[in-house]
Structure 1
Amino acid sequence: MANAVLLNNIDHKDLRVITRHGRDMDESYAYVQTFPAEFRMLQAHYPIIFRRESEARPFEPVALFGFESDENLFLDEQGWDASTVPLLVERLPFLIGRDGDELMIHIDLDSPRIGTQEGEPIFLPHGGMSPYLESVNTMLLTIHEGMQSNAGFIEALMKHELLEGFSLDVTLDDGSQNRLAGFYTVNEERLAVLDAAALDSLHKAGWLSAIYFQIASLSNFRALIDRKNARRAAGR
């Protein structure tokens, strides 16, 4: 559980943030949330699929890092082994909060990224935002707008009945079995038979390209399996 508090330049004036990636940075999780505007960059590295915690909650797109709980196959001794890191990871230890209608930056004081000796300063000596914090502020705004867009995207997918459950059975080189289940993807057959009006509405809303990026991202399952095999072979 994050110990999130409102960021301020009095209580947190000396704090610094470690920006490197690694297992000691609490990044060992199998997936992270994402949003349509991020698909273009992420589809080069990660499978993008959909999950749903319960019938009462909407679907959400996620970038997949591994096949097991707490497994991130993109973390190695050198850090994060991909040129693009999802924004929901990159923004840590910062979070978006609200004060009424105003968006505010919060910080997780229990994050291993937080310190006073190593890392990027959050504030300037006289209390102003550091260039690093300014970049974080821009990132958090992008995330907020992107996550807000998920509702419309999911609504469009469900309207056209484009989401379907899938499972993936993987046999690794050492003979062990892995099964990925409980996730969803776009049904390509249904997409292929949508009429011109439906495709036009998806295009005008900005969802059609995101759909194709999501479908294209599924080719990364092969690379993810290769990472899993390499990790097993190395005994890590």
Structure 2
Amino acid sequence: MTFTTLDNVDDAELRVAVRAAANFGDHANLLPIFPIEFEEAQRELPIVFRRGEGQSLRAYILLGLDRGENLFLDGDRWTTRFIPAIQRRGPFALARGDDGEAVVQVDRDDPRVGAAEGQPLFRDHGGDAPYLAHVRATLHLLAEGAQSERAILADLDAAGLLRSVTLRIDLGDAGGYELTDLLTIDQTKLAGLSGAVLERLHANGLLRAATMAAASLGNVERLIELKTLKDAA
């Protein structure tokens, strides 16, 4: 990877393709998201959690039942309205310039960069083209999400709202799956919150985040439907 800062003069004609592929990280059955994305994600995808090294927590969207399986891809395009910011950013990253201001960098080695069928980054008469404006917003969302993620997930954990689960999925004659090492929102404990804990979580917006993550589990049925159709094909 070779990241360099975009320049609206030198890169005035640069185009970048918007497409998904295994080598871009899209072919995964779990992709990380930030709590700031829960509202959009929960409409279409199940939100689960995992503990990493040092018991650190991360939130993920569940996209498939087999490793490397994203049931929401059709060729090189996502079929969902929601795409996690970590994938939506494409071959771009946010860095600090010499003056301390945030600047957008692009990976010049990424095969999407310079593609003739790609989206322009700059308007003909100056300024960001719509695609680059979208990228900037996504990169800032990622930066904001990374800053707040640890504290939000630690608060949900401290409130006792996360429980370890094994998702058992029966596909009938096609067999079944057991997805382990996952955590989900404990809906019984969520419904039973009261007093100071309830007030605190409501005041800082975490109650809403927990409620959305809990509601998202209804989307597991859609995963099963897509997996059944895929196996039948």
Q: TM-score, normalised by structure 1?
A: 0.86
The aligned counterpart of 1:5 is 3
Deviation string 1:61-107 (CA, Å, 9 cap, x unpaired) is: 11111122211000124732122222222111212334586433232
Report if the CA contact (8 A) 1:14-1:116 is conserved.
no
- Cα 1:24–1:161 change in 2 (3 A) is closer
2:206 matches 1:222 = no
The CA distance in 1 between the partners of 2:52 and 2:107, in whole Å, is 24
- 5+ long unaligned stretches in structure 1: none
- Matching residue's letter, 1:39: F
Report the Cα offset of residue 129 of structure 1.
Answer: 3.7
1:164-203 to structure 2, matched below 5 A, reads 164-203=163-202
Aligned residues: 231
The aligned counterpart of 1:68 is 66
1:147-158 to structure 2, matched below 5 A, reads 147-158=146-157
- Cα 1:78–1:91 change in 2 (3 A) is closer
- Cα 1:108–1:53 change in 2 (3 A) is farther
- Cα 1:52–1:110 change in 2 (3 A) is farther
- Matching residue's letter, 1:182: D
The CA distance in 1 between the partners of 2:209 and 2:120, in whole Å, is 36
The CA distance in 2 between the partners of 1:68 and 1:223, in whole Å, is 15
Cα RMSD of the aligned pairs, angstroms, is: 2.4
Report the Cα offset of residue 167 of structure 1.
Answer: 0.8
Report the Cα offset of residue 58 of structure 1.
Answer: 1.4
Report if the CA contact (8 A) 1:49-1:183 is conserved.
yes
The CA distance in 1 between the partners of 2:135 and 2:163, in whole Å, is 35
The CA distance in 1 between the partners of 2:147 and 2:165, in whole Å, is 26
- 5+ long unaligned stretches in structure 2: none
Report the Cα offset of residue 205 of structure 1.
Answer: 0.7
Secondary structure of 2:174's counterpart equals coil
Report if the CA contact (8 A) 1:23-1:75 is conserved.
no
Between 209-218 and 111-120, report the one with greater CA deviation.
111-120
The aligned counterpart of 2:77 is 79
Report if the CA contact (8 A) 2:6-2:106 is conserved.
no
2:45 matches 1:46 = yes
Pick aligned residue for 1:96 from 94, 97, 102: 94
Report if the CA contact (8 A) 1:122-1:130 is conserved.
yes
1:25-44 to structure 2, matched below 5 A, reads 26-44=25-43
Between 190-199 and 153-162, report the one with greater CA deviation.
190-199
- Matching residue's letter, 2:114: G
Report the Cα offset of residue 50 of structure 1.
Answer: 0.7
- Matching residue's letter, 1:220: N
- Cα 1:77–1:138 change in 2 (3 A) is closer
2:107 matches 1:108 = yes
- Cα 1:102–1:184 change in 2 (3 A) is farther
Report sequence identity in percent: 34
